[in-house]
Amino acid sequence: MYVTPEGKEIFIVDGHTHFWDGSPENQRNIHGKQFVECFYAYHTALSPKEQLWEKSKFEKYSADDLYRDLFINGPDDVAIVQSTYLKDFYKNGFNTIERNAEVAKRYPERFIVNGSFDPRDGEKALEYIHYMKETYDIKGVKMYTAEWNGASKGWKLNDPDAYRCFELCEKLGIKNIHVHKGPTIIPLNKDAFDVHDVDYAATDFQNLNWIVEHCGLPRLDDFCWIGVQETNVYGGLAVALPFIHSRPRYFAEVIAELLFWIGPEKILFGSDYAIWTPRWLVEKLWAFELPEDIKKERGVDLTPEIKEKILGLNAARLYGIDIAAKKKALAGSPFSVAAE
């Protein structure tokens, strides 16, 4: 729970977190090393100096680190932990649903575990979606369209095999489709994260929610033109939000564009842990004010009410979180007592 300087309690749903293993022991090849080092470069470039981690911890942190940074030292009430497999790069996968589910079981009430699948696996992908729903009762998945799979260096949301998977997701009630559409990570191909396929999938699957993580950066303009016409397209702030520290004017432009085009009900907070920790992001967002010229030009403002929607209410709505019931459950949990 985040308590503002004014004393108001804000319910925080961190929509984009990870529990990864990018350690040298898990790296399958040079690409695994490149991938986690690229993440670390984002971490060192955009974090406040006092928030920097040693590289060895960044590569592989513990479940206790995760819990402490999100819920004890951090302000999160609930964290959505996303799965990203990258088994071409990592022996045991980078961030699998099994690894995520294990930590969620250890800390009840705190995590929503999302799955992942690769449509290029054909029938096995469909079988795996059934497995994830039956085993973990997932409500969402993370799509990584630039992931390598043998000779293939990426896929599109509107590929026929992908549509078969989304049809099954819709049938099984897996409604929240988080899609990485943001900056590239070495050695993945930048063009494989292009946002244009979101337009096709969102139109053809109106009953699914398409959460475009990283709000399409560096393709913000393209994303906004899609997001404004598709009622089921949302923007995740992970990666965009850390610029609030390193380049606040740039962040102001990004958040103002999102407010102008898609509106305050369709923007979701995400720390992108462990690239960044949530406390400083939440504190800086709550304190942030749009420059007057940007407010005047766009006709928007970033009010406390809008910040509260972004920080938790919007994601709670998508995931069916009863906030009053969740607060009660957390207050009665031994982990909450330990945190206090």
**Number of helices (H) and strands (E), helices first, in the chain?**
16, 10
- Side chain identity, residue 298: R
- E strand or H helix at 178, and its extent? strand 176-180
Question: The tokens of 219 are what?
Answer: 């393709």
pLDDT at 334: 57
Grade residue 339 by pLDDT with cuts at 50, 70 and 90. Answer: very low
For strand 78-81 and strand 111-113, is the pairing parallel, antiparallel, or unpaired?
parallel
Q: Is 280 helix (H, G, I), strand (E, B) or coil?
A: helix
- Residues whose CB falls within 8 Å of the CB of residue 37, separated by 6 or more in sequence, listed in order: 186
* Cβ proximity of 95 and 19 under 8 Å: yes
pLDDT above 60 for 223: yes
Q: Is 315 helix (H, G, I), strand (E, B) or coil?
A: helix
- Residues whose CB falls within 8 Å of the CB of residue 161, separated by 6 or more in sequence, listed in order: 119, 120, 122, 125, 155
273 bridge partner residues? 17
d(CA 37, CA 189): 16
pLDDT tens per residue across span 111-146: 999 999 999 999 999 999 999 999 999 999 999 999
pLDDT above 70 for 294: yes
Q: Which residue has the tokens 């898609």?
A: 262
d(CA 181, CA 185): 11
HEC string of 149-164 equals ECCECCCCCCCHHHHH
d(CA 163, CA 145): 13
pLDDT tens per residue across span 54-65: 999 999 999 999
Q: Which residue has the tokens 């709000």?
A: 215
Cα within 13 Å of Cα(327), Cβ side = 10
pLDDT tens per residue across span 172-209: 999 999 999 999 999 999 999 999 999 999 999 999 99
d(CA 244, CA 225): 23
For residues 222-232, average pLDDT:
97
d(CA 226, CA 164): 23
% of the chain residues with pLDDT over 70: 98
Largest CA distance in the chain: 55
d(CA 88, CA 150): 7
Question: The tokens of 72 are what?
Answer: 């004890």
C-alpha 15 chain-centroid distance? 5
- Residues whose CB falls within 8 Å of the CB of residue 21, separated by 6 or more in sequence, listed in order: 59, 60, 90, 92, 93, 94, 95, 99
Question: The tokens of 53 are what?
Answer: 């981690």
Comparing 39 with 333, the larger pLDDT belongs to 39
How many Cβ atoms sit within 10 Å of the Cβ of residue 109? 14
pLDDT at 1: 85
Q: What angle do CA 167, 153, 89 make, to 5 degrees?
A: 100
For residues 212-222, average pLDDT:
97
Among the listed residues 78, 40, 76, 35, the one whose alpha carbon sits nearest the alpha carbon of residue 58: 40
pLDDT at 335: 55
Domains of the chain, start order: 2-339 (3.20.20.140)
